[in-house]
Every structure is written in structure tokens, then in C-alpha cells.
């Protein structure tokens, strides 16, 4: 099992309940493909480096998980089409 981190930027134009639902769906995707979530880090509302879809702010979330090497591809393909997700990125964490 490898250690991964899923970074998700969620639209700031939606309500708190919708934002929570988006993150819950991301966590469910990780678990669906055999991942074990170790930590969910909520950074809150931050200013984006550049305007995306006419938005200047977004909510940042970091989900750390352990999974097999095939899981990130499957998770990314589903997060890509989720509503209210502005940006996402999965990176493998080194053991260092």
C-alpha cells in the first residue's frame, strides 16, 4: 500500500451542506477503491492564485489515504466529473 494525498478545491459559491456532501463523496470514492483514509485536513476558504470559472476563492481540502497503486487513476477519473470541484490533484507521498 502506498500513501497518497488528494487535494480538492471546492467552489466557494455553494452552501456548507453541499460542500460537506462533495467532500463526503470524495471520501467515499477513496474507500470504494480500497483506500483507507488516515486524515482529512480542511484549510478553509483561500484566495485562488488565478481566477478559475470566474471565481477568485475556493475551499481547500486535503485527504490523506493509503491505497494500492491503481486507486488514484480510478479516483481521479471520477473526481474530474464532480460538480463544484474546481481543481483536484492526487500525489504520492514519500516515506522520508
Picking from 23, 15, 31, 41, the residue whose alpha carbon sits closest to that of residue 66 is 31
- Asked if the model's pLDDT at residue 23 lies above 70, the reply is yes
Distances, alpha carbon 34 to alpha carbons 16, 19, 44, 91, 93, in Å: 28, 24, 27, 17, 17
Over residues 31-88, the pLDDT tens digits come to 999 999 999 999 999 999 999 989 999 999 999 999 999 999 999 999 999 989 999 9
Residue/partner pairs of 40-43 with CB below 8 Å, 24 or more apart? 40/64
**What is the pTM assigned to this prediction?**
0.90
Amino acid at each position: 500500500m502506498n500513501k497518497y494525498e488528494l487535494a480538492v478545491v471546492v467552489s466557494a459559491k455553494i452552501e456548507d451542506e453541499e460542500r460537506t456532501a462533495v467532500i463526503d463523496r470524495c471520501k467515499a470514492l477513496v474507500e470504494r477503491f480500497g483506500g483507507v483514509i488516515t486524515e482529512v485536513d480542511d484549510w478553509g476558504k483561500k484566495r485562488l492564485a488565478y481566477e478559475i470559472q470566474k471565481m477568485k476563492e475556493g475551499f481547500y481540502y486535503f485527504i490523506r489515504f493509503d491505497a494500492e497503486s491503481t486507486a488514484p487513476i480510478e479516483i481521479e477519473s471520477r473526481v474530474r466529473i464532480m460538480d463544484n470541484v474546481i481543481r483536484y490533484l492526487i500525489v504520492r507521498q514519500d516515506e522520508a
